[in-house]
A and B are shown apart, each in its own frame.
Chain A
């Protein structure tokens, strides 16, 4: 049999036990991130202690699920100084999460330590939420340093031309019906592309030299995600100074936040 794994039916509204477990592991541990948190503690769920403080904005948009790629025994790309993609993306994602939460977004991470959830575990975590977007974060081995690119999944010969279509048209998967696990993203490809279009424009404004349009690519993490889902790949792992990536993280958070807002205001967040 050429295609591995039996097709599994998923029920979208049923929360995954894996998802619940992963969702509870959200404590940052990296010193840099902890330092930032100390400087400006901002948890949307925690009310301000003094009346004089301005409460953080609470944006009632979709949940943003951040997915730091790789982890555990899978290091991802390796830099010349021994830097591993799994460590760098975790650091970046933690900073992005803080930036988004300061803006009032609800954020969840698929991993917050050196674990390596399987592709299915990551998808299960995402698929436990209906009003959400999924953003997988990676670092490339190639490409101009300090640029970023957005990818959306495209199945073979199944993506119709979306140019000129109504951007506010919500992606409507088969009403309430089960979806093949391996093709869960297929119903959301157009929504993912619209989200990727918006996000890539935001990234191009913040990271000169980045592509103006997103690219279709078969990023494995996205395949079984039944949500608007994109991957952002930052270039590149050969940067010898880790600050290259950490300084990219705050604008990346801003770009993701604005993209989610624009995506939602266009009525294309999907799910609910």
Chain B
């Protein structure tokens, strides 16, 4: 074999080897990019996912209080996936209160509002932290602001057991008023009526934790407006 041909073959082999190595590296990089993209989408999906399911979640009927006129709310039963864990259950019903309104006429909370956080203190105080939209887009007025607070309070007291009072925050901060009128510096009573009736109504459709039976109470539907302290 002529020497020139041998050199050409060696060069060609080296080139093919380098090409193969480069191709393998390129393949690895493409795979890494795809994995990153999947991770981002997964994170976005998790962020957008409306509810976090827990093993105790069951389909149950919740009573959501929407507007039944300019100055009062009334319950509408809706089947939701509800957790037995009170804070998670509260998040689920409040999200439904905002996102699952049967008709725009019944809306009590702005469509752009969202629940940022919800937790329960050991003394039974529920802390509900809403986005700025709740304050900015709720129609200004005593009547309309009371309607918004009333729908939140009654929905909680009729679906989440063990809550005694409610504190509403706006974007993590205490606000003077909701939209210029209703006082948010205090707490809202979450219905002695509901608490007194604990255990009176506990249907299979509305399961509650064993420690706090009887989440729902039809009698509480007509309870008086809540007031802060």
Contacts and interface: CB of A to CB of B under 8 A. Distances in A.
A156 B182 contact: no
Given A138-B142, A142-B139, A4 B174 contact: yes
Nearest to A211: B71
Interface residues of A, number: 42
A220 interface: yes
A233 to B, nearest CB: 5
Contact of A5 (B140, B177, B182, B185): B185
B177 A142 contact: no
A218 B139 contact: no
B143 A218 contact: no
Contacts of B228: 155-156, 218
Given A2-B174, A119-B176, A157-B192, A140 B144 contact: yes
B167 A154 contact: no
A220 B70 CA distance: 20
B32 to A, nearest CB: 47
Interface string B88-105: 000000000000000000
A138 B141 contact: yes
A39 B188 CA distance: 49
B110 interface: no
B225 interface: yes
A76 B180 contact: yes
Contacts of B165: 156
Interface in A113-153: 119, 138-144, 149, 151, 153
A3 interface: yes
Interface string B128-141: 00000000000111
A141 B186 contact: no
B182 A157 contact: no
A157 B167 contact: no
Contact of B227 (A3, A138, A142, A156): A156
B27 interface: no
Contacts of B189: 156-157
A59 to B, nearest CB: 29
B26 interface: no
Nearest to A1: B174
Interface string A190-221: 00000000000000000000010001111110
Contacts of A217: 142, 146, 182, 225, 227
Nearest to B189: A156
A22 interface: no
Which has the most chain B C-beta neighbours within 10 Å: A76, A154, A218, A233? Answer: A218
A220 B184 CA distance: 8
A74 interface: yes
Nearest to A5: B185
B126 to A, nearest CB: 12
B183 interface: yes
Contacts of B127: 2
A140 B188 contact: no
B226 interface: yes
Contacts of A182: 185-186
Contacts of A231: 142
A218 B192 contact: no
Contacts of B70: 142-144, 235
B183 A219 contact: yes
A223 interface: yes
A158 B147 CA distance: 21
A233 B143 contact: yes
Nearest to B192: A157
B227 A216 contact: yes
A218 to B, nearest CB: 4
The 4 closest A-B pairs by CB, nearest first: A156-B229, A141-B139, A156-B189, A140-B141
Given A141-B139, A143-B71, 16 more contacts: A3-B185, A5-B185, A138-B142, A138-B181, A141-B143, A143-B141, A156-B226, A156-B228, A156-B229, A158-B229, A218-B146, A219-B183, A220-B176, A233-B142, A233-B143, A235-B70
9 contacts: A2-B167, A69-B180, A85-B140, A139-B141, A141-B144, A143-B70, A143-B143, A156-B165, A156-B189
